[in-house]
Structure 1
Amino acid sequence: MKTQGHVNIDAAVSTPYRFTSRLDVRLSYRWRDSPDHSWTFGSITFQHEVDTRPDYTLPVPKRKPSRAKQEDELQEKLYRVWDHLRSSAMHSLREYLKSGRDRAAIPETFPVTTDSYTRGLNNYSTQFWRDQP
């Protein structure tokens, strides 16, 4: 657990064995107003649907990769996106809790917002307290 005053965020997030285009990161946390108060527990699940359409900005390979190679590359891409989602989610939750905002207002689930240009995650994707477009 990482401690921020009287706030703890569980940093032990299990990596999925296999990834799909729907990625979820569940973070558990707890807080108390002072050492005399009991802990209050909560969790938030960040949800992201990865856009798996081809990236036409990349060069075309000379030979079409095998189906197994394509699947390996997809799993690697999905892992990188999941890991970015996990670290962004932890950072956003930590910043929200450190700022002293209403902890009871943290949603149970949050569908992350994606960048309209890249169709991927950006610095603001996991900020669940921002006004969403």
Structure 2
Amino acid sequence: MSFCCGATMIGTVGTLRQGSTLVHNVPLYYCPVCHQVEVHPTVKDEFELLVEYAQEDNAREVNLKDYIDEEMVAEWKENCTSFQDDNPEEVLREQIDMALDLLGVAKQLKDDQWVSDLKRRLQVLSSRLTKLKKKQAENN
């Protein structure tokens, strides 16, 4: 589990650019508020090694999925509090619920900075959820 903006980051699979090389199917932690992205620690060594080899070979694109086993991916998904597959609304709602829970704790502890950070996070997440629902309504 990784933390950002006062709460947890979500797991996703994405593409990262390292220099002139695109690395596809990288297990990531992603913050839906500040957009910070981190390669998940279970695959970080493999990711760095693949990038090094790809850059030495001047490869434009590589696929990390070809170099990691399914057990690593399963472990990574298991360690994520939220995982974004095909339902971003569910992930946003989970993140809002967690932030609300943490807000209660922050208020009990009288930690004004944390309360402020969590309120900002809730505003951003709520805005994203509203935009997503609006986009879904337009597509239907």
Range of TM-score over shorter length: under 0.3
Q: What's the TM-score once normalised by structure 1's chain length?
A: 0.25
Q: What's the TM-score once normalised by structure 2's chain length?
A: 0.25
The structure that is helix-richer by fraction is 2
